[in-house]
Structure formats: structure tokens, C-alpha cells
A and B are shown apart, each in its own frame.
Chain A
Amino acid sequence: MKIANEQLKEMYLTMLKIRKFEKSASELFAAGKIPGFVHLYIGEEAVATGACANLREDDYITSTHRGHGHIIAKGGDLKYMMAELFGREDGYCKGKGGSMHIADATKGILGANGIVGAGHNIAVGSGLAIQHRKTDQVCVCFFGDASTNQSTFHEALNLASIWKLPVIFVCENNGYGISVSQKRHQAIADVSVRATAYNMPGITVDGNDLFAVYEAVNEAVARARKGQGPTLIECKTYRYRGHFEGDPVVYRPEGELEAWMRKDPIPKVEKYLLENGVMTEEEMKQLNDDVDKMVEEAIEFAEKSPLPSLESALKDVYSDIVEEGRVR
């Protein structure tokens, strides 16, 4: 499949943004600047990037607790993301959501989600809205391997299939649900086989191969836009960090991480870009520096952003009701 040079560069940029944003988030968490739970996407960048490269601004995604990568790939702004991680007023959720709940309605980002398996049916609802409006938008539903054991996964695939909804189910199979390996949480090796039960196409691709992901999603998006219904795409990948920051990671077999790191998705893309004359080494270096700066700026933005006012805790519970606060 031929991908235009501009788009290749754009995809590379996205992967760098995710990697570097996440690396900083990890350090900032360790430094105590980010409270709560932080689930990092490092190692899985090719999935969100390859999938979202097929999407328009008016397409939708649903995300997970491990959502930073999806949000960046769908066009999320690093500044507002970082400010949200810091719990600041200028964050995407004005400090009320944090890492697990970032959303941007203007970009079709229907929210990261703290409930495993909750995105599947939200994606179905999004597909329903699209079908109802008769547009050619699509919704990409991201979820982990372990979430496919929730009833919601099965309900969603069934409904999307019988209604032929424009939903692309993208499973990020990183081999684990927290500490429980895929072998121990389900008796299948490939999540994609579950598509059979719902009579939709199912395919497994190398999730560390940007182009494999891009192509599979490209085809699925084309089908969805034509009203031909959903697809299940399983991307085999791996998370480098623990389940969340602070996870002592007692469950990995020795050497597993290292083996996956040798298949890191980013150098693969760099090699391709060089060999095909898409970018020179200098240009890549420049881009890396640019992204470092973007992340720096995002952190600066977050640090400068004020803490939310206490009364803001009461706002946005309803559109039209504000409950009472308290006097202390």
C-alpha cells in the first residue's frame, strides 16, 4: 500500500509525541507531580497511530484506561492533556478527570475510560448515531485483550454486526490484563477468532508494525464507510512499563520485555523512512527535538495552569443544576 510521504511523516511525528509524552508522564509521576493512576502506552504506539491515521477529524474513537496514545493519535493537544494529568484548571477536564478520563468532543474523542469493557458499547452507540445520520463517519473502538472477557465485548460485537454499524474494533493485545497473561485469561491465542461468532471479518496483525496496522484498519474503515459493517482487528503488541506506574511487575517471564523491545515499533519506522528517502537523518533529529520541545511546553503549560477553584467541583454535574458546596 502506498502511503504519501507527508502522511508517513505525520505518523512518525505522532509516534514520537506519544513516546515522549509518556516518558515525561512516567518521570513526573515518579516525582509526585501527577496524582492517581497512570497507565502508559509506551511500546504500543504503532496501534493508535496506524489506526487513527485512517480517520478524519469528524470520526470517533473510544478509548481505555491506557488512553494517552489514542488521544494523541486522534489529535489531542499535549498541553491540555498534561494539564489534566496535573489536575489543573486548563486540563481537558478542568482537573476533574485525570489520566483515565480525558475526552475531546471536538475531535471525536469519546473519552478514555476507567471501566474495563465500557467503551465497547459506547462505540456501538456512536456507530448507531452515524448510521442514523447517514454520514460516512466511523468509530474506532480501542480496547485491551483482557477486556474481551467482559460481556460487553460480546454484546457490542453482536449488536454492531446485526445492525451493520460502522465500528472498527481494535484490540490491543499486549498479552496481559494487569498481571494475568492472555494464556491465563482466555483459552484462545488470537482474539480475532471471536469475530467468527458474530459473523464479521476478524484479522490479527503485528501491532508493532505501523504499516500492518494502518492497512488492516484502512480496509476496515473503507468497508465501514460503505455501510458494510464492523470489523475486529487484533494488534499483537506489548507494554514496556508496568500495568500502571508503580507496578512492581512480578509476573513477566524473564527476557520477554527485552524480546519485545527488540521489535520496538519506532526504529522500524525510522528505518523505513530513511531507506525510502522520506526523511533524512537530520530531519528526523530535528523532528525529535521539536517533539521534545512540545512536551517541554506542555509541562510548562501544566505547571503554570492554576489549580481549579474549589467551587468548580460543583460545576458540570448537570447542565442546569449546581448543588450546594460547603463552608469550612
Chain B
Amino acid sequence: MKKMTYAEGIREAMRFKMREDPNVILFGEDVGKFGGCFGVSAGLWEEFGDERIRDTPISEGAIVGAAVGSAACGIKPIAEIMFIDFITVGMDQLVNQAAKMRYMFGGEINLPMVVRVPAGAGIGAAAQHSQSLEAWLTHVPGLKVVYPSNAQDAYGLLLTSIDDQNPVVFIENKVLYSMQNDVDENELKPIPLGKARIAREGTDVTIITYGRQVYDSLEAAEILAKDGISAEVIDLRTLYPLDKETIFSSVEKTHKVVLVSEECKRGAYTGEIAAMIAEERFYECDAPIKRIGALNTPIPFATDLERYVVPNARDIELAVKSLF
């Protein structure tokens, strides 16, 4: 075991791939000597130089577009969008180009590109720098969406994402960047997309979550355990493809489901998963499916307001208890 931060997990996966394959390049705003707004690519420019680690102008359309075009021509680009909020500016390239090209072109094209995007609230960055937009992204056929919660997974999932022949949006939670986890060095290897992880085993209720809320859910599970409720926590790791199998077998065991994410609840991806469970495992559920999200507001600036809007362990605990 060794300690690694989430940011290091991402960085080391990029480094590994860049050493292995000269076709892997990284570009984005201030990703070079500056090391990226959150320092994720710190040190890579020193090793790989201007050719492979490129600072771009502030042109998100061009950043995603350049990823699409270079991937279509056989390069393996990693494009960093500084905050997921700015993906809006590059959305046409992502939604109408990247996601559709293979399909429109009759399968004649590979797009081995990764778009890395820091997401989420928690640092007082207010409404335009704190969003969780995974529902938009998972909605678009043609995109894969990955959302790791810890260093080990970030490393393994990024390795796989870089090699994937489809556009992958790799969502990184900015609060987790500096969080250290134990990683098993022998297990620092590719993790297949679409495989969830049971973060905690339990028998009474299934908490389905990902990203930062994995920690809140584990915290809630710990409290619930003291009250005699055994909660299973599933860390999805990949939002699309979605690991239905792991979800369903847990539901079949516990018969109760709580879904947790940091998106504002209205239209959140958790709703899609809830609907899927209702459609396909309705009779397995012996209580309503509960969803927890952020409140349906933009993310406010003031620290207390932000904490109020974003869900926490207490909200999860209360939701679970409401089922018993």
C-alpha cells in the first residue's frame, strides 16, 4: 500500500500513458508549466515538453474541436476543460461532433479522446464554477462518462479511458483532488469501464452513488450501522456504461434503494437510474426509491449556503431512515 492523492492518480495515469505511447498528448488552458488550474498536470510539461503538453488559448470550442479532429486522425488527445461549467462553450463539438461522428459515418471512425473536466461544489466558487452536469453528458448517446471517487480508481479508469476508442468525458471532483487514499501498487492497472465497486457491503439498503458522495454515503452508513441498519454503498465509477448488474443484484438483496449525487435533483442522472430500477426491478423494492441531490438552485457563494444546497451525510442518513 502507498498513499496517493486523487490528483496524483490522474497525473500518474497520464504520465504512464504518455511514456508508453507517443501519440498521447495533453492540451488545455494553463496545463503546461502552470500545471493546470488545480495542479493536476504539474510536472508533465517538464517531462514531455511543448510538443505534447500544450497550453491553449481560452477557446473551449477549439479545445474540444481539436480533440475531436486529432482523435479522428489517429492521435490520442487528452483535453482538459478547466471547469465542467465551461464545457457549455465547447458543447457543440462534444454533442454534435464527438458523440455523433462514429454513428453518422457508419462506424468508420474511431475517436480515442478524453475530455477531463473538474466538477462539483465545495470550494466557494459560486454558480459558474461549481456545477455537476453529468445528466447532460450521460444523456448523449456516443459519449462515455466516467466519474472516479479515489486515487486508485482515477488511475485505473483513466488508463482505460485513454485507450478507449470512443469519446470519454472524465469527470474529476475538485474537492477530492487533494484527498489521499491508500492505493494498492500491484493493482495500479486498467479498470474496465462500466464496472461499479462495492464500497461497503450491507444487507438492508443500497446506497448508489459516485464521486464525492461516496464519502458522504460511507459516513452515513457508519452512523446507520450504529442504529442497526446495514447499508451497502455502491460507487458507480462509470456513469455510462452503467453497471446494471451490480445495481440489480444489490437491490435484489436489500430491497431498498437510495440514490445520491451532487447534481441538482431535478433532472439528475440519479433519476435515470431510479427509473431503470422501477422499470426492471419494481417488485424487488419494498419501499419507495429515494433520491438525494443538491437543491434545485444554482450553487450559491456564501459558505453556509453552499453547504445547505449541496447534500451531505446527514441527508443520506435521514433518507435511509425514512425507509424503515
In the complex, the answer to whether B302 meets A95 with C-beta atoms within 8 Å is yes
Query: Per-residue 0/1 for A151-164: is the Cβ within 8 Å of any B Cβ (1 yes, 0 no)?
Result: 10000000000000
A105 sits at the interface (CB 8 A)? no
Query: Per-residue 0/1 for A58-101: is the Cβ within 8 Å of any B Cβ (1 yes, 0 no)?
Result: 00000000000000000000000000100110000101111011
In the complex, the answer to whether A179 meets B301 with C-beta atoms within 8 Å is no
B318 sits at the interface (CB 8 A)? yes
Q: Which residues of A contact B57 (CB under 8 A)?
A: 146, 149, 177, 180, 185-186
In the complex, the answer to whether B305 meets A308 with C-beta atoms within 8 Å is yes
Q: Which residues of B contact A101 (CB under 8 A)?
A: 126-128, 301
B164 sits at the interface (CB 8 A)? no
In the complex, the answer to whether A250 meets B34 with C-beta atoms within 8 Å is yes
A251 sits at the interface (CB 8 A)? yes
**B319 CB → nearest A CB, Å:** 10
Main secondary structure of the interface of B (DSSP, over half): loop
- When A114-B128, A310-B308 are in contact, do A87 and B30 touch as well, CB less than 8 Å? no
In the complex, the answer to whether A177 meets B304 with C-beta atoms within 8 Å is no
Alpha-carbon gap, A80 to B37, bound state (A): 29
In the complex, the answer to whether B128 meets A100 with C-beta atoms within 8 Å is yes
In the complex, the answer to whether B127 meets A115 with C-beta atoms within 8 Å is no
**A242 CB → nearest B CB, Å:** 11
- When A177-B58, A180-B55 are in contact, do A323 and B129 touch as well, CB less than 8 Å? no
Q: Which of A97, A117, A178, A327 contacts B29 (CB 8 A)?
A: A178
**B195 CB → nearest A CB, Å:** 32
Q: Which of A36, A117, A178, A326 contacts B34 (CB 8 A)?
A: A178
Q: From B317, which residue of chain A is reached at the shortest CB distance?
A: A328
Query: Per-residue 0/1 for B113-151: is the Cβ within 8 Å of any A Cβ (1 yes, 0 no)?
Result: 000000000011111110000000000000000000000
Q: Which of B60, B295, B315 contacts A324 (CB 8 A)?
A: B295
Alpha-carbon gap, A178 to B304, bound state (A): 29
In the complex, the answer to whether B89 meets A117 with C-beta atoms within 8 Å is yes
Q: Which residues of A contact B96 (CB under 8 A)?
A: none
**B320 CB → nearest A CB, Å:** 14
Q: Which of B60, B127, B298, B304 contacts A308 (CB 8 A)?
A: B304
Alpha-carbon gap, A103 to B23, bound state (A): 46
Q: From A249, which residue of chain B is reached at the shortest CB distance?
A: B34
Q: From B264, which residue of chain A is reached at the shortest CB distance?
A: A323
A31 sits at the interface (CB 8 A)? no
In the complex, the answer to whether B295 meets A314 with C-beta atoms within 8 Å is yes
B112 sits at the interface (CB 8 A)? no
Alpha-carbon gap, A323 to B126, bound state (A): 19
In the complex, the answer to whether A326 meets B295 with C-beta atoms within 8 Å is yes
**B95 CB → nearest A CB, Å:** 16
Alpha-carbon gap, A314 to B266, bound state (A): 14
Q: From B127, which residue of chain A is reached at the shortest CB distance?
A: A101
B300 sits at the interface (CB 8 A)? yes
Nearest 8 CB-CB pairings of A with B:
A87-B302, A35-B124, A98-B301, A114-B128, A36-B124, A95-B302, A179-B34, A149-B57
